[in-house]
Amino acid sequence: MYKGRCKSGSQCKCICHFDLFLIYISALPYLPVFRSAIESGKILIPQIEVVPTDVVANPDNPPELEIRFDMEPAIPNFDDPEAELPVNWQLRFIHNQLFKHFLFPSRFCPGPFHSTILRKADWRSPDHKEKYFAKCDRAIQKWKAEGPKPLNTGWNIDGSELEDKPEYCSGIWLFVDRENTTHHFAPNFLPPYNTPEKRKLILDFLREEWDDKDLKWKPVGKDGGARSILDFVCEKVCGTASADKDA
């Protein structure tokens, strides 16, 4: 979860977040186990530094607008030990760990790695829509030029600033809803990430992706990845999702 502040510097209850793992209400009794597993270090949490990769309209009618935080490139370089890790690798790294560790039936996370910024979007005309997304793309390119940024630079769960800020504090948040953040899990898997041991551990978790339609693991870039690319093209060209997505 990412917490924002007003430009005036005052605390702001508006919270922008993207989900990595959702716990359905039937699994709430499992929550202490969930917290215990993360606090024990069984789930490795790196310093999370991300950059937006796109703004898209989802397939709903009317659509929701989403800021995407996809991993780029979508398939890491598994052969070159000197190659840089993909942008936003931390999100899939944590997401995959959570799905592999917790196996209760109600685990799910449709459309991870995005933040919804507007519901029931509409435009005055197709021309206005085209200009809007062109402006979004210019903003995205500026963010990309600046590079990844930490999601948390020193805030507590109530939005107050930490008095003794650690060097790395951009972890993950546990929340009931946007008004009720209950816990912050600080990074326990710290930089640098270019050692052979850490790179192997990271890349091993990035070799697969969870298919939320077939509910099974697939090699990264296979079937699920191809469908995502098709959907991306359809959304950009026609403003709709592929027939496969609607099936």
- pLDDT tens by residue, 1-36: 334 343 344 444 445 566 777 666 555 676 787 888
Q: Is the pLDDT of residue 141 over 90?
A: yes
Cα–Cα distance for residue pair 40/43, rounded to 1 Å: 8
Of 9, 55, 46, the closest CA to residue 159 belongs to 9
What domain range includes position 53? Answer: 2-246
Percentage of the chain modeled with pLDDT above 90: 42
Beta bridge partners of 49: 150
Phi first, then psi: give them for residue 235, nearest 5 degrees: -65, -35
Given this model, what pLDDT does residue 101 score? 87
Angle between the 89-101 and 196-206 helix axes, to the nearest 10 degrees? 70
Q: What is the mean pLDDT of residues 51-63?
A: 93
Strand (E) or helix (H) holding 177: strand 172-177
Q: What is the pLDDT of residue 16?
A: 59
3-state secondary structure of 160: coil
pLDDT at 215: 78
The predicted structure's pLDDT at residue 93: 95
Q: What's the structural domain count of the chain?
A: 1
- Tell me what pLDDT residue 38 has: 87
Does residue 94 contact residue 20 with C-beta atoms inside 8 Å? yes
In whole angstroms, what is the distance from residue 224 CA to residue 227 CA? 5
Whole-number pLDDT of residue 245:
36
The edge-to-edge listing of strands for the beta sheet with 65-68 is 54-57, 65-68, 114-118
Place of tokens 């693991």: 217
- Which long-range contacts (C-beta less than 8 Å, at least 24 apart) are formed by 215-224? 220/74, 220/75, 220/76, 221/74, 221/75
Computed over every residue of the chain, the mean pLDDT equals 79
**Mean per-residue pLDDT, 62-77:** 93
What is the pTM for the complete model shown?
Answer: 0.78
Cβ within 8 Å of residue 3, ≥6 positions away: 12, 15, 16, 152, 155, 159, 173, 181
The candidate with the shortest Cα–Cα distance to 21, out of 129, 98, 103, 133, is: 98
Chain centroid, CA 69 distance in Å? 5
Q: What is the mean pLDDT of residues 59-82?
A: 92
- Secondary structure (3-state) at 150: strand
Q: Please state, in angstroms and rounded to a whole number, the distance separating the CA atoms of residues 71 and 85.
A: 10
Better-predicted residue by pLDDT, 239 or 18: 18
What six digits make up the tokens of 111? 């459309």
Per-residue pLDDT band for 189 (boundaries 50, 70, 90) equals very high
